[in-house]
Structures are given as C-alpha cells and as structure tokens.
Structure 1
Amino acid sequence: MRRWGWLLCCWLLAGCVSLSAGGKPERPHEAAVKQTEAKPLPKDIHLVALGDSLTEGVGDGEGKGGYVGRLVPLLSAEDGVRTVTVANFGKRGRRIAELEPVIHAHQAELGRADMILITIGGNDVMNVVRSHFLDLSRQRFQQATEIFADRLDHLLISLRTINPDAVIVLVGLYNPFSTTLPNIPEINDVITEWNKASQAVLSRYDRTIFVDIQDIFIDRDELLHRDEFHPNAAGYEQMAIRVYEALKERKEWWIGRLLQ
C-alpha cells in the first residue's frame, strides 16, 4: 500500500499539467507564451529630422551630429527599441518658407517615420533683424511671428497628410542675441512670444510635442559656439537631453506604436 502511495505522489509531481493561480489548468508551454507576449521583441525606430543649422548640427566641434546625433544613443537605450536610424535633412540658413519643398521632396522617408524632429525659426528671427536693423520694434517681430505661425500650421497639415501617426517634435527658439542686439533689450520677451505662438499651433494636432530650450541658454555663453549664435557640443548635449526628457513623458506614443 505504501508503494502505491509513493507512486501516486511521483505521478502527481511529474505531471504535465500545473494549476494556475486561478485554479485552472495551465500547461508549461502556455506560461512561456504568455511571458513572451508580455515582453515584445525590440523594434526599430526611423527618425526624420527637418530644419535649419541646429538640425544639421552646425557648431558641434565634436562632430556628433548636433542634438539629433546625441539623441540617438539615448533612444537606443530604451527598452523596446532595437535600433534607431536617422534621415537628417537639416540645412544651414533655412527659413520656414523653405521647408515645404523639403517635405514634398522626402515624402517616402517621412511616410515611414516614427518620429519627426524639427528646428526652424531662428533664421526667420534673424531675417527681421537684418531687414529692419535701423527700425527694429516689437511690432515688426509680432508681424513676423504671425506669419511664422501660419506657415507652421500649413507644414503640420502637410506632415499629417503624409504621416498621420508619427510623433512630431518641434524644438523651440533660444536667445543668442543678448550681446548682438543691445538696442532691443526685450528680445527675450520676443523669443518667448514666438515660442508660445509655435506651441499654440502644435496644440491643435495630436501626437505633437513642443520642447522649450530657451532657459538652457540664458546667461550661458559657454554653451555657444564661437560664432555666438549656434550651440557648441555642450549646448547640443543639453538640447538632446531636453528633447529626450520630453519624449520619455510621452513614451507610449512612440514605443507603444512600435509594439502594436
């Protein structure tokens, strides 16, 4: 009798069926499948960068591709991400009126993008300065801000037509003009109003992020290139971190989409 009891115990321990926490039978291979489903395999992110010299990375003495290049390893380190590929169409001197043809020329890249990064507007501000240097006023900048916001709205319509799902990130303007524009002491207010106008436009579209970097460069000349306009390597590092932090707050938008 003891022998039969011992055999019955061994049979129960070696059985193929185990009980789940809810009391329902669960086979071992089913538990492994559930664990695999809970942790999907890492995916690839395709990032497209548009805009001006900040997108191009002008002033980066380390040659790491400005803030865009420095953002790549930060994103690559995230769980759920296997690789990050970049198509960078930034060009020095570009203003917002020149960005629409770039979008149309690269529709295929934009159509498969998971993220679209944009820096634009600094040269639009400089154009106001150059065109009205002797009679600069807040009104001049206000008019330019309204024109910029209208063009930004049209750009977002174009991008959303090409790609309804990509996360669109617009990096705001900062003020490198504190020493070069002494006749406009309120230039910080001008930049703030410009950024607010841009942020208001983005707020009308889903899956968009405005990244404010104005505070990073206030009284921080050590973050500027020797031209006193573009960021240097340290400045671009700060920009990349700020963009990365903003993306982490909306992680479900880009990692979530990749894992669907």
Structure 2
Amino acid sequence: MSRSGLAAVALALLASAGATAQSTRFVAFGDSVTEGVGDETGQGGYPARLEALLNGEGTPATVENEGLAGETTAEGLTRMSAISGSAADTFLLMEGTNDISAQISPETIAANLDAMALKAGKQGFGRVVLATVVPRLPGVPAPSTIRETEYLGWYVRQTSYDLGTPLADPFEAFSQRPGNLADIYSDSFHPNGEGYDLLAETIADVVQERDRVGPVPAFLIPVDGADDVEPDVQLQIVIFDLGSGIDRSATTMLLDGDPVSASVNGDGQRLRLRYRPMKPLNGRVRLGVRSRDLATPPNEIDRTVADFVVLGSEFLTGDIDQSGRVDGADLVRLALAFGSHRGQTRFDAAADLDDDNQVDGTDLALLAANFGASL
C-alpha cells in the first residue's frame, strides 16, 4: 500500500475512534435536589454520579448540572430559555418541590412541567426525561406537603404518559426502599450522599432502558387517610408503568386483602381499575392492588394503597385506631398520651374516650373493659 493510502486508512481509523468516543450530552435541570444540596461528599448531587455511572457502563456521557436552589417551575420555565440542545442531547427534568412549599397545586405544577418539556423539544433537545420529585420526611414545617408531594407524582406520571416521554420515578424508588428513609436524607427535603447515589441509579436505569420499578398506583379514590368516605363510594386505582408496561392479566384490586371484580380499562402503560361494592362499606377499609410489569424478571407489587374510614361508622369504645378491634395497638396509643390534657403536644383526642379533655385512668378503664373485643 502506498504512503498516501496508509495515511488515508489512519485518518479513517482516527475518525472512527473519535465518533465512537463522542459523548452524549445530558442537561440535568431542576432545583436544589438537582443542584446537590445536602450532598456531604462534595460531588454535587446526582448529575456527577450519573455521568460516572454511564461512562462506567460504556456509555460516554457528559451531564451538566443546571440545578438552582429555591426555583419554582414557573421560574424554571423562564430560565431554561438560555439553554439549547441538539438532537443527540437529553434534557432531564425534575422540579416542583418548591412549588409545593409555595402551596401551588399539583395540577398547576404539572402544567408547567408539560410546558417545559415541550419547550425543551423546541430548543433542540432530542429527548426529554421527566422525573417525579423525591418524597419529604416527617417533620417538615407543613405536614400536608408530604401528601401533596405524593399527589404531584401522580400528575407527573400522567404528564409523562400524555407526552410519551420516558419517566424516572425517584418518588417510588425512595418510598419503596427497604429500611429507614431518613438514613438517606440530610434533612426533611434533601438526600445525602447515599440518597444521591440512589437518585443517580434510578435515572441511569431509565436512560439505559432498564426497568427496575414495578407498576405504580396513583389517583386513588378515596385517598389514604380519608375519614368521611361515603358507604357506596366507587373505588378507583390508576396504575402507571411507563417502562416495560403492565401485565394486565396479573392486575387485581384488593379490598381488605381480598380480590374484587374491578373493571379494568386502559393500555399497557396506564390502567384504571374501578369497583363499586355490592353492599355499603362500613368501618375502616383497606384498598389495595396486586400487579406486575412485563420486565424480565417482572417487578411485582402487592400493597395497601389507601386506609380509610367510612362515614357514619361506629367503633367500639377503646378502638382508638378504628381497626375494628380493641387491642395492644390501642393500649400503646393511649399510654403515649396518658397524663396529657388538651393543648399539650402529647394529647391525643382519640385516646380521650370520655371527652373530658384529658387522658387519664378513666380512659384506661374504658379501654380495658373492651380489650380483646372486635366488631
């Protein structure tokens, strides 16, 4: 081969090597959790970890951290105007927890996220990945925001389904993690280093098209903790699986642990289960779901999703937790409030069985009289 021919081959090999080594660009956009607040390791949250994971798996990648602490989705919609992409780039969007703190509704937050995802496409990004926000821990200044954060996840999943975008589900991954959730948090809002490891792994799975999250329940009727549910309520569970899809034949609604003949409508990524009981409900009721996805091996769920009390139900005196029986759990709850009176932090109105604004020996005697009884 001539010298010029060898040179041409060498240039071709260099060009091929360069093309092989070309990195995929990811832009991680969000608030303080994307920025990495609470990461005691100094790595700056999940973006740097995601980059390391992808490169370690043989997927050359650069992940830019565009997190900004304190930002709401409306502010993010404006800020992202300065960020552009190409058809090979991916926009990772996880935002909304500051909106929850500002008492902005999950529906409004989801509408902003929808607008942001569409805007990312208009600004050149070839792919958008939506993500639910991580759950909050008990002890936040406004406890209701814990539940609102869960509801936001419902709407983010619906938005991702409507747009046809991939979904990363940190809320589900964190909530279903075995052990004490507080172990992977630096405070009630932000993960610590171990939590950011889990967050990066959750997003990497979606980027690499691995499915390790089972079907996720949402849009429950009634919601968990409701205490005024009509006896003839039509029960509902919506299930999402935007990865491998839902195994419809293995999906069942449960009522107090027993399967019921619920109607099932939808497609492989979103199913709606509905059921109206044959006779009026009474007392405390547990609504559950059993399902699995089409991954190999399948990811399965079998859980209670809502524990609620039917309007007008009567319970035994001493059944403090309204479980339908007077047992040790009620005794423990009364003991924790024993000696307290209304206005004190320890006071538990449900344990004040004689309604005299204090938890004392009389309440204990009332509970003891029914101890072991059930409806």
After TM superposition, the score normalised by the length of structure 1 is: 0.65
Greater RCO, CA 8 A, separation 6+? 1
Q: Does residue 1:97 correspond to 2:70, yes or no?
A: no
Alignment match, 1:161? 122
**Distance across 2 between alignment mates of 1:97 and 1:77:** 35
More helix per residue: 1 or 2?
1
Alignment match, 2:61? 84
Asked whether the 8 Å contact 1:53–1:93 carries over to 2, the reply is yes
Q: Does residue 1:212 correspond to 2:189, yes or no?
A: no
How do 1:153-192 and structure 2 match up within 5 A?
Answer: 153-163=114-124, 165-166=126-127, 168-180=128-140, 184=144, 188-192=146-150
| RMSD across aligned positions (CA) | 2.6
Once the two structures are overlaid, the 10-residue window that deviates more, 173-182 or 115-124, is: 173-182
How do 1:50-199 and structure 2 match up within 5 A?
Answer: 50-79=29-58, 81=59, 83-107=60-84, 110-111=85-86, 114-128=89-103, 144-163=105-124, 165-166=126-127, 168-180=128-140, 184=144, 188-199=146-157
**Distance across 1 between alignment mates of 2:172 and 2:141:** 17
2:199 counterpart (227, 239, 245): 239
Q: Give deviations 1:92-140, integer Å, cap 9, x for gaps.
A: 0011010122211122xx3365221122011111112xxxxxxxxxxxx
Q: Give deviations 1:5-54, integer Å, cap 9, x for gaps.
A: xxxxxxxxxxxxxxxxxxxxxxxxxxxxxxxx9xx834311111111011
Aligned in 2, Cα 1:237/1:115: closer, same or farther, shift over 3 Å? same
Alignment match, 1:222? 183
Aligned in 2, Cα 1:102/1:247: closer, same or farther, shift over 3 Å? same
Asked whether the 8 Å contact 1:68–1:240 carries over to 2, the reply is yes
Q: Which segments of structure 1 move beyond 6 Å, counting only runs of 4 or more? A: none
Secondary structure at the residue paired with 2:162? coil
Q: Does residue 1:203 correspond to 2:161, yes or no?
A: yes
CA-CA distance at 1:183 after TM superposition: 5.3
**Distance across 2 between alignment mates of 1:188 and 1:228:** 10
CA-CA distance at 1:68 after TM superposition: 1.0
After TM superposition, the score normalised by the length of structure 2 is: 0.46
Aligned in 2, Cα 1:204/1:41: closer, same or farther, shift over 3 Å? same
CA-CA distance at 1:250 after TM superposition: 6.1
Taking every aligned residue pair, what percent have the same amino acid on both sides?
Answer: 26
Which segments of 5 or more consecutive residues in structure 2 lack a partner in the other structure? 1-15, 212-375
Asked whether the 8 Å contact 2:130–2:168 carries over to 1, the reply is yes
CA-CA distance at 1:242 after TM superposition: 1.2
Which segments of 5 or more consecutive residues in structure 1 lack a partner in the other structure? 1-36, 129-142, 252-260
Secondary structure at the residue paired with 2:91? strand
